[in-house]
Amino acid sequence: MMPPDLTPLLQFLRSELGIPEAAIQFILRRLVREQGPLPVILWRYGLVPIERMPQLFEWCAGLETRIPSTWRLDP
């Protein structure tokens, strides 16, 4: 089950990083199987280049009060 509070992050991925909807849906399916922070899984599958990771982590750090720090889905 996906936490509903990922919406701001998903909007950021689409608008700021230009990740296509199909890629986001792929990653969301992978999150069900893999344990780990969403930014790392995005990088692992080549959807966020290493050069953009600081921007992603910086944006994510600003959401600590709205999004759970683990960003993990229950298996």
Dump pLDDT digits (tens) for 45-73.
999 999 988 888 888 777 654 445 555 44
Q: Yes or no: say if 35 and 75 are a contact pair by the CB < 8 Å rule.
A: yes
d(CA 24, CA 13): 8
d(CA 24, CA 22): 5
- Helix residue ranges per DSSP H, the chain: 7-15, 21-33, 38-44, 53-61
Predicted confidence at residue 10, as pLDDT, reads 86
Predicted confidence at residue 22, as pLDDT, reads 94
Predicted confidence at residue 19, as pLDDT, reads 92
pTM: 0.66
Per-residue pLDDT of 3-43, as tens digits, reads 556 788 888 899 988 999 999 999 888 887 887 778 888 88
d(CA 32, CA 2): 8
